[in-house]
A and B are shown apart, each in its own frame.
Chain A
Amino acid sequence: MYRLLRNLHLTFGLTAILPLLLFAVTGGLLGYNVYNPPALESERVLTDVPATALASPRAMAGWLMTQGIRGALTHVEQDDDDVTLRIERPGRAFEVRYGTDEPRVEVSARRHRFLLMLGYMHETAGLTDPYWGTRAWGWLALVSSIALVLLALSGLVMWFQRRQDRRTGAIVLAAGLLWGLGLLVAIRLG
C-alpha cells in the first residue's frame, strides 16, 4: 500500500511539476505586486492579404493565425468598410484594423514580458476559450489543481504510515490545521 501510494504521489507530482512551479513563482509575483514592467508595444503592416480573408472578421482571424497573430477573437467592430478586431491570449493582445476593400492590415501588438505572461496564465481559467492554446492551458491547470489535491491527500496518508515520523508530524500537522483550517472556519463564520 505504502509503495503504491509513494509511486502515485511521485507520478502526480512529476506530471504537474511545471504548472505547480508556475503557480508558486507567479503566486509570489501576483501576491506581492512586485513585478509590473510596462507592456512592449509594436506595430506591423501586412500586405497581400488574400481576398478570402477579407470576406468576414472570422476569416480574417483565421488567416492572421497563419501570420503568427494567434488568440481568441474577443471584439469585432465594423463601421462601413472599416473593421477593427481584437485578438487575445494570456499576456498578448492584438488590435487589427483593415478596410474590406484593400488587401492591407495594420496590427498593433501589446506583449507582456515572459514572467508577466506566466502571471496572466495563472489568472486564466480558459477551459471554454475559443483559442486552442488558452484552452489547453485551462485543461493543464485543472489537471494540476486536481494533482495538487491528490498530492496533499496521498502525502497525508503516507506520513501516517511512517511510524518514525508520526509524533513530530502530528505536532506540525496540528499547528498547520490550527493556523489554516482554524482561520478558514473563523473567517467563514466571521
Chain B
Amino acid sequence: MADRSATTVAAATPLLRRLHIWIGLLNLTSLLVMGAAGIVTALHTSEPARTVSTFAYTPRPDASDPDIANEIFDRLHPGVAQRPPSWSLHRTDAGQLTFDINGPNTQSRVVVDETAHSVRVETAAVDLGRMLTYLHRQSSYWAIPDIRTRLWGLYVDLSIVSLLYLSTSGIWLWLASRPRLRWARVAFVAGVAAFGLVLFGIF
C-alpha cells in the first residue's frame, strides 16, 4: 500500500512540476502586478498630486442627471474609464451635481454648477503604481466595458486560480522532492507562526 502511494507521488510529481512552471510562465505578468500592487498599497501613503480645470457648460433643458454625466464623460475623453453609473451621481446641498470618473489611468471628481454654467474637474495623477493597484482588482466581474479591460479581467480570473494552484502544488513539490531541507522547514514554520500571530491579533 505504501509502495503504491510512493509510486503515485513519483509519477504525479513531474507532471505537477511541469504544470507549475507553465502556469507560472503564463501568469508572470499578473504575478508581478499583484506583487507590485501589494508593495505599492503598503508603501504609497502620500496623496497624489491634483490638478483642477474648469470649462463652460450648460445642460440641455430636458437633460437628466445621467444624461449630463454622460455628456461630460464624452466631452472629457478619459480613455479607458468607467462611465459614471447613475447610483454614483450626487447632489450637494448647494444643488451641484457631483460624480467620479475612475479608470486605470484616471481618477477625476467632477462638479457641475448649473447656476454658474460651469464644470469643475479635479484630477489626481495616476502613476504606474496606482494603475497596477487599480488593475489588480479588475476581474472580469468588475471590468470596465472595454475590450482591453475585459481581456485583462479574464487574465486576472486566470491568475486567481493559478495562484491557488501554484501555492498548493508548491507544497506538494516541496514534500515530494526535498521535505527534509532545513531552510524550507524553518521558512514554513516561521511563515505559519507569523500568520498565526497575525490571525490571533485580528480574529
Contacts and interface: CB of A to CB of B under 8 A. Distances in A.
B167 A134 contact: no
Interface residues of A, number: 74
Given A31-B157, A133-B198, A184-B135, A145 B28 contact: no
B155 A24 contact: no
B108 interface: no
A184 B21 contact: no
Given A24-B167, A188-B104, A188-B131, A121 B202 contact: yes
B101 to A, nearest CB: 14
A23 interface: yes
A28 interface: yes
Interface string B125-160: 000100100010101011000101101100111001
Interface string B77-118: 001100000000000000000000000110000000000000
Nearest to A158: B21
B22 A127 contact: no
A133 to B, nearest CB: 2
A11 B38 contact: no
A142 B167 CA distance: 18
Interface string A127-157: 1100111101110111011111101110110
Interface string B48-92: 000000000000000000000000000000011000000000000
Of B18, B146, B195, most buried by chain A (CB within 10 Å of CB) is B195
Interface in A161-190: 162, 165, 168-169, 172-173, 175-177, 179-181, 183-184, 186-188, 190
B184 A148 contact: no
Among B34, B80, B202, chain A packs the most CB atoms within 10 A around the CB of B202
Contact of A24 (B29, B33, B135, B163): B163
Contacts, number: 209
Contacts of A132: 201
B31 A18 contact: no
A134 B202 contact: yes
Nearest to A71: B202
A183 B155 contact: yes
A172 to B, nearest CB: 5
Interface of B: 18, 21-22, 24-39, 41-43, 45, 79-80, 104-105, 128, 131, 135, 137, 139, 141-142, 146, 148-149, 151-152, 155-157, 160-161, 163-164, 167-168, 170-171, 174, 178, 181, 183-184, 187-188, 190-192, 194-195, 197-198, 200-203
Closest 3 CB pairs of A and B: A133-B201, A145-B38, A180-B29
